[in-house]
Amino acid sequence: MSQPSAPPASSDVVIVGGGVVGAAISCWLKAFLGFPGSVTVIERDPSYARASTALSAAGLRRQFSTPVSIALSRYGAEVLRAAPTLFAIDDEPGPDLNFREDGYLMLAASPSQEAAIRANHAVQTAAGAETLLLTPDEIAARWPHLRTHDLTLGAFGPRGEGWFDNMGFLTAVSRRARAAGARFVTDEASGFEMQGGRVAAVTLASGARIACGSAVVAAGPRSGDAAAWAGLALPVGPRKRTIFVFDCATPPDPATRPPMMIDPSGVFCRPEGRFFLAGAPPVEDPEVALDDFDPRHEEFEEIVWPALAERSEVFEAIRLQRFWAGHYEWNAFDRNGVVGPHPDVANLVFATGFSGHGLQHAAGVGRGVAEWLLHGGYRSLDLAPLSWARLLENRPLVETEII
Ligand SMILES: Cc1cc2nc3c(=O)[nH]c(=O)nc-3n(C[C@H](O)[C@H](O)[C@H](O)COP(=O)(O)OP(=O)(O)OC[C@H]3O[C@@H](n4cnc5c(N)ncnc54)[C@H](O)[C@@H]3O)c2cc1C
């Protein structure tokens, strides 16, 4: 996808990882904020065949429980809508990233789930996100084929959330970054040369080294390994998630097709063209090997299909079309992003650990990290809640999930 070039001897900023997060940082730095220095992105596999970005469900929701996540999603939605202008290169318009603002529908079937929905709704409303609380009757009126007998409440975002073209977004930010002068190098970063408590250079598997002013870790599920090169313990590693794509023998009327639906069982499902895309939180969730991409096929038969068939007659007769497994870059501390410099290694900046919501937040994180590299602080959205401080001070920033 990128047109790789040879590694330079030095670069003001070296970004390890050219997935959506690393590419967005390079794009905001060079294309949007006018960073005058050199920016180099190191990517070990420019096919992105196993990158989380490529294997994602590509949803964007405002239904989070922390103001910083809600604000990041709001900015992500703005960027997706503005893509044809924002990612234009010379006279060529940027792509339509097919942002389907059809909403998320979160369903509660227990007092604790209902309490979580109501508490999140209060935070979302205060943060300006329009989330509607729906009674079971209101849910049945909007989506008549959904069975609502067990439900107590639902939450639905009619605007500003939905799903989009994940690889289109990655292509758009990397093309725009390259057009503005960012350099993409195909190689594997293999270590940091440390000098006086700073990263002096990034070493590459090819044997080359790139002296740097600052280094950025945006290596997705491999970020924990990269942090260790600087002697830092970052609890980010790969957790497997399997996605299933199916079609229905009797598809629902498009007018009453559910949006991105999160069932009380934890199973999610959303339309994908004439198909549906679905998945479930795994029963057991160990860290897996970096090369373990074997789909957990049994999740379809045992969890996904039974839950969906229970929820709607349209999901009773379905045919599995394809499935794949990808890795979340899982932050075992609190399942939230780690963004910004480490206090002990001031020129080493992190942007990782998003644990299932990094694609939708990549634009805001890209902008924030670029601001930090340019100005030494955040200028638009304060990303301090995602800093290392909370890990070092044992203050988890946990999103209240409904399930
Ligand atoms: C099944 C699944 C469903 C998901 N659903 C959603 C969703 O609905 N919404 C959402 O917002 N997010 C979702 N996510 C999460 C989202 O996809 C990720 O948070 C996001 O893509 C992370 O982007 P990244 O650039 O950090 O990581 P990646 O896309 O993994 O990119 C990291 C890149 O770094 C490269 N790299 C790693 N180490 C090195 C090295 N040493 N040297 C050079 N290159 C290196 C890798 O090759 C890779 O290309 C999902 C993820 C999965 C797996």
Q: Looking at the structure, do residues 269 and 290 belong to the same domain, yes or no?
A: yes
Dist CA 279 CA 163 (whole Å): 15
Ligand 1 midpoint to CA 185 (Å)? 18
The answer to whether residues 379 and 249 belong to one domain is: no
Number of domains into which the chain is organized? 2
Verify that 140 and 71 share a domain, yes or no.
no
- pLDDT tens digits for the chain (403 residues)? 445 579 999 999 999 999 999 999 999 999 999 999 999 999 999 999 999 999 999 999 999 999 999 999 999 999 999 999 999 999 999 999 999 999 999 999 999 999 999 999 999 999 999 999 999 999 999 999 999 999 999 999 999 999 999 999 999 999 999 999 999 999 999 999 999 999 999 999 999 999 999 999 999 999 999 999 999 999 999 999 999 999 999 999 999 999 999 999 999 999 999 999 999 999 999 999 999 999 999 999 999 999 999 999 999 999 999 999 999 999 999 999 999 999 999 999 999 999 999 999 999 999 999 999 999 999 999 999 999 999 999 999 999 988 7
Within this chain, do residues 178 and 84 fall inside the same structural domain, yes or no?
yes
**254 and 178 co-located in one domain:** no
State the Cα–Cα distance between residues 258 and 252, nearest whole angstrom.
9
SS (H, E, C) 150-219: CCCEEEECCCCCEECCHHHHHHHHHHHHHHCCCEEEECCEEEEEEECCEEEEEEECCCCEEEEEEEEECC
Counting ligand 1 atoms within 8 A of each CB, the residue from 52, 242, 291 with the most, and so the one to mutate, is 52
42 lines ligand 1 (CB under 6 A): yes
> Do 392 and 354 lie in a common domain?
yes
Q: Show which of 305, 326, 347 is a domain's final residue.
A: 326
CATH classification of the domain holding 322: 3.30.9.10
Q: Are strands 209-217 and 345-352 parallel, antiparallel or unpaired?
A: parallel
- What is the domain extent for residue 132? 104-157+239-326
Of 326, 356, 378, the one marking the end of a domain is 326
Counting ligand 1 atoms within 8 A of each CB, the residue from 2, 47, 56, 104 with the most, and so the one to mutate, is 56
Same domain, 87 and 177: yes
Domain identity same for 48 and 80: yes
- Mark whether 26 and 42 lie in a shared domain: yes
d(CA 340, CA 342): 7
Is residue 161 within 6 Å of ligand 1 at its C-beta? no
Same domain for 121 and 256, yes or no, is yes
Q: What is the pLDDT of residue 386?
A: 98
pLDDT of 3: 53
- If asked whether residues 252 and 227 sit together in one domain, one would say no
Instruction: Pick from 2, 53, 242, 331 the residue to mutate for probing ligand 1's pocket: most ligand atoms within 8 Å of its CB.
Output: 53
Q: Comparing C-alpha atoms, which of 239, 238, 323, 329 is closest to residue 278?
A: 323
Residue 54 identity (one-letter amino acid): A
Q: In the numeric block, which tokens belong to residue 161?
A: 């959330």
Q: Is 196 exposed, middle or buried (0-12, 13-18, 19+ CB in 10 A)?
A: exposed
Q: Are residues 49 and 25 located together in one domain of the fold? A: yes
CATH number at residue 357: 3.50.50.60
The last residue of a domain, from among 297, 326, 355: 326
User: By three-state DSSP, how is residue 16 classified?
Assistant: strand
Question: Do the Cβ atoms of 183 and 26 come closer than 8 Å?
Answer: no
Phi, psi (5° rounding) for residue 89? Answer: -125, 115
